[in-house]
Structures are given as structure tokens and as C-alpha cells.
Structure 1
Amino acid sequence: MPGRLAIYDDEKFKKTVKEFIKVDLVKNLNKNYNIAPTMPIPTLLNEGTYLYAHFGFLPSWAKDKKSMNINARSESVFEKMTFRDAFKFQRCIIPINGFFEWKKDDNEKTPYYVQSKYGHSLALAGIYNEWFDEQLNQKIVTVALITCDANNKLSKIHHRMPVILNEKDFNTWLNSVNLAEVNSLFKIYDSDLINIYEVTNEVNKVLYNNCNAIKEKKRVKKGQQTLF
């Protein structure tokens, strides 16, 4: 989908996009291994600001957070009233180190972590908008991830995945006014470029936020005994 993200190291990303960053409001990243909707997430806006945005897109006309969307489908983002202006004018890149998906078997949901096979950060295509938060009494930047069909490896767990941008396409995504060219970036990320493995069920808890959240779960084989 995804609904949970991890970002604990953005140094390589910041070096890669330094030509696009005019103002860095993130500075020293707050490591977060289990980002849920409504939490702040580092985001590079196409106007050049790198800041923490609200994970969950809200159009400026939304009365409350019930209208929030964490994802926008690549197949329809350019035509839906909620997203189309943001798609034209307010695109962004959301750097992550990985994301979580849950595999459903009967009534059981098993969490998996998805990351770059080579340990690189993943640059997700997103859209943003400003929304007035009455509780904070100020405007906030809100974001949604663009999604597409899952690749062959991930489709065994979930049928959708985020659109992951290649470095060579950053400028096009952020700055192009040619929407056909922008649409051409909605490609399914190669299965060979990601690793997927099972993680602890503790990630189901929003407050569970440490490096153990992204560690591979070691299964004890049936009949195997341990000393502890």
C-alpha cells in the first residue's frame, strides 16, 4: 500500500538531491523505524524545501482529517479532483530506507519489511498540499505516496507498491510541466532490486519504534530445540 515506513538515514539522499534543496528544515534526521499515517516524514518539495510533512494528504478544502489519503493511485492521480492540481504543480520526493507490508493468511496478518537490495535509500514519488490545521492554528504540508501495481516479488504479499524513482528521473518528477513525460515515470520497480523478509509482529504497534522493527525475524524450525 504501504501504510508504514522507515527512515533512519537520509545522508546519501541529501547528497544526491543537493542541487534541488534550497532550504533544509530537516537538518539532522530524527530516526524513525515505524512511521504511521499522520506522523511527520521528511519530504523534498518541488519548490526546494526539505521539511517534515504530515504523512496523509489533505486537500486545502478538506474540513477535517477524515478526508485524509496516504496513497494516490498512479492510474488516476491526474484526473481525480482531490489530487489533480497537486499532481500538476505540487510533486515531491519522500526518501525512505524501507516500508512494511502485511501478508494476509486466513485471519492472520504477517508483517514484512521491504528495502533496497543494495542498502540504498528509496526515493518515493509523492504529491503534497497545504492544509490549515485548526488545532495547531497554522498551515501544514501534507503528503501522499503514488502507488502502482506490485512487482512479481512483492505481489506474493500485496498487490500494490509505491512508485520508486530512479535518480536520473528526479528532475523530471520535480520540475517537468509535460504531464505525459511525468506519467512515464510510473513504472513498476524491478523485483531484483529489493529484498523482502518477515519482521516482528511488534511493528503492529505504532509506539514500537526502534531498530528491531526492521530486523529479520528468525523462525525456529518445527522440532528444533533451543537451550533457552
Structure 2
Amino acid sequence: MCGRIAQSESRQYYARRLLPDLLEREWAGGDTIPQYNLSPGRPALLLHMLDGKLHSDYVTWGYRTPNEAAAKRKPWINARIEKALTGRYFRHMFRQGRVIVPGGGWFEWTFEDGKKQPWYISRKTNEPIFMAGLTNFQLYAQQEVEVGLVIVTEDSERGMVDIHDRRPVVLESQDALRWMDPETPVEEAAHIAQSRSLATEEFQWWRVTRGVNRPDPANNEPALLDPIESTG
């Protein structure tokens, strides 16, 4: 799964990695504090396309139906790609709400000495990650239901399964643009998510401080991403 992410760069930084020719003045300002330990239930930056233009918004990470909200159930934070298109729950968002959640990396956990040990996962290159996401957010629309987003996940493969059996669908820039383009047919979008996610060999991961385990907005500093030595 994906239960915590880092979004420490500006909107402009992520947007320019997708569209290098993007006009800078269209993306100046509007950024929040850099996030090194962003947890569900808080606003996350998402990128989306409308009328051929790239847009950005901050949307709460987590989605639940009106009935679930009334019952005070916990929101879903991830959507399995195997069920996102065909299942009734996320199908409407797969068709109309495909977005990209950019970041520097994400966290997973193992158990060591009976305690949760966080790991940080990022690309080996100095490039951001573009995670496939789904949302019911609609730009310029008056919405009376809870608005949120989920990150699309797939089965982990090879070495990364030692950290967790699920991982985000992470796309290269051109695939990310096609994924969130409303003109992309749903069948093509499904193919992109199911076959174009970056391979395990493109990533690196290391242990980080257990201070990450506290999902507090004030618990937010670059040192949370620093490698630590194994305790074993």
C-alpha cells in the first residue's frame, strides 16, 4: 500500500518535470509548506488536465462515499488497479477523475524487534515520482459531497515485496500525462497503469527514523528522510 508520502517540492517543480516548456508565471506562488511526512486525511497536491492545460489543486488524501461519511467510516486511501476500473466503488473516478500525485517518495513499514520500522522509497535518479491517483474532485464545480483522492496501487515485485506487498503505480512523465488526460480512453488508461509502472530496479529504499511513525503535521522536517543504520 502507500500510507505516507513526501511532497517537499513546489508545484512549479513538479509541473516543469512533466512539461518543461510550462510558463513559469502560471505556476508562481500558491504552495504550502514542504511536506516530508504527509499522512492521509491531510491536503495533498495533485496535478490534473482540463481542456489541454495542466492544473494543480490540494485535495484531502482519502475518499469515502456519502453513506460511509454519514456512518463515520474511515476513508479509503488506496485503490487497487486490479479493481479500480471494473469495481463499482472507483469506476466513476477512473473514467472522470484520473490525476497524478507527485512527490519525492513514499514510506512503507516492516516489523523489527516487535516495532514498526519505516522505510523511505524513492527513485535512484534525482527525479520525482508521479503516482497515479483517482479523485472525485471536479474543477469549477459546486460539490456537496466529501471530496478526496486515493493513490492507485499494484502488486509489488521482486525485492520490494520484502518491504510491502503493495506499491503505488509510478509513471514516467509521458505516461503520466496520458493517464490524466480526460481524452485518453479508459482502456488505454488501464493499460498504462497495469503495464507502464516503473520497475523495482528504478527505486532505492532505506531505513529512516521511527519518528516518521507519528502522523503529526508538526512532525515535518527533512531529517525524517535521512538513512539510519540497521539495529539488527
- TM-score of the superposed pair, with normalisation by structure 1: 0.83
For 1:203, the equivalent position in structure 2 comes to 212
**1:116–1:196 distance in 2 versus 1, CA, 3 Å:** same
One-letter amino acid matched to 2:226: K
1:116-195 equivalences in 2 (<5 Å): 116-130=123-137, 141-175=147-181, 176-186=183-193, 187=195, 188-195=197-204
Q: Deviations over 1:180-225 (max 9, x none)?
A: 21111123421221110000011001122111111101347x8xxx
Give me the identity figure in percent: 24
Contact 2:4 2:38 in 1 (8 A): yes
- Between Structure 1 and Structure 2, which shows a larger proportion of strand residues? 1
**1:71–1:216 distance in 2 versus 1, CA, 3 Å:** same
- 1:79 CA drift (Å): 1.8
Q: How far apart, CA to CA, are the structure 1 residues paired with 2:115 and 2:184?
A: 45
For 2:76, the equivalent position in structure 1 comes to 69
Q: Deviations over 1:62-92 (max 9, x none)?
A: 4345251100000000122220010011110
Contact 2:97 2:134 in 1 (8 A): yes
Q: How far apart, CA to CA, are the structure 1 residues paired with 2:69 and 2:212?
A: 31
Of residues 70, 93, 96, the one that matches 1:86 is 93
Secondary structure in 1 aligned to 2:180? helix
Name the Cα RMSD after superposition. Answer: 2.8
- 1:59 CA drift (Å): 3.6
Which runs of no fewer than 5 residues in structure 1 stay unpaired? 132-136, 223-228
- 1:101 CA drift (Å): 0.2
For 1:215, the equivalent position in structure 2 comes to 226
Q: Which has the larger radius of gyration?
A: 1
Q: How far apart, CA to CA, are the structure 1 residues paired with 2:22 and 2:74?
A: 31
For 1:7, the equivalent position in structure 2 comes to 7
Contact 1:154 1:191 in 2 (8 A): yes
Q: Deviations over 1:34-86 (max 9, x none)?
A: 01110111101233430111011234564345251100000000122220010
- Between Structure 1 and Structure 2, which shows a larger proportion of helix residues? 2
Q: Does 1:114 align with 2:117?
A: no
For 1:34, the equivalent position in structure 2 comes to 37
**1:101–1:155 distance in 2 versus 1, CA, 3 Å:** same
**1:20–1:71 distance in 2 versus 1, CA, 3 Å:** farther
- 1:29 CA drift (Å): 4.3
